[in-house]
Amino acid sequence: MEFTQSINHCFKHYSNFSGRARRSEYWWFFLFVILVSLVAAFLDYGFDSYIAPDWGMFDVISTIILILPQLAVGSRRLHDIGRSGWWQLLYLTIIGAVLIIIWHATDGTKKNNQFGKPVKIKK
């Protein structure tokens, strides 16, 4: 899956917490979120649009727009390795965040699991 395909797919399935997602889908969307966050930070700095000491208007808006697709693709990514999406709650701890990142980088199972068939990339 390519960068633009990943973004389109994640926004089309922004509330779909079932199924599976390949590593490329997750990491391309992760890169997109980082880029949007950087642009929002520059806009907040440039327009001095801080609504709180560390919260800029553009940052808050981008976070609101991206949080649900992020959680959905993260859940589908964990499904690909046979884990529940609820494991994302480990992000609330430092050690848990490291574990989740390792799981997101792990190759998915090649066979069917309780979350469905393996995802195939359409060309």
pLDDT digits (tens, 9 = 90+) for 47-77: 999 998 889 999 999 999 999 999 999 999 9
Q: Mean of the per-residue pLDDT values for the chain?
A: 95
CA pair distance 24, 118, nearest whole angstrom: 14
**pTM (2 d.p.):** 0.92
For 80-101, the pLDDT digits (tens) are: 999 999 999 999 999 999 999 9
| 115: Cα within 13 Å, side-chain hemisphere | 22
For 103-123, letters b (16+ CB in 10 Å) and e give bbeeebeeeebebeeebeeee
Contacts with 39 (C-beta within 8 Å, 6 or more apart), sequence order:
58, 62
- 1 or 6: whose pLDDT is higher? 6
Give the contacts of 100 (CB within 8 A, at least 6 positions apart). 74, 78, 87, 88, 90, 91
Residue 9 pLDDT > 70: yes
Share of the chain above pLDDT 70, in %: 98
Is residue 120 pLDDT above 80, yes or no?
A: no
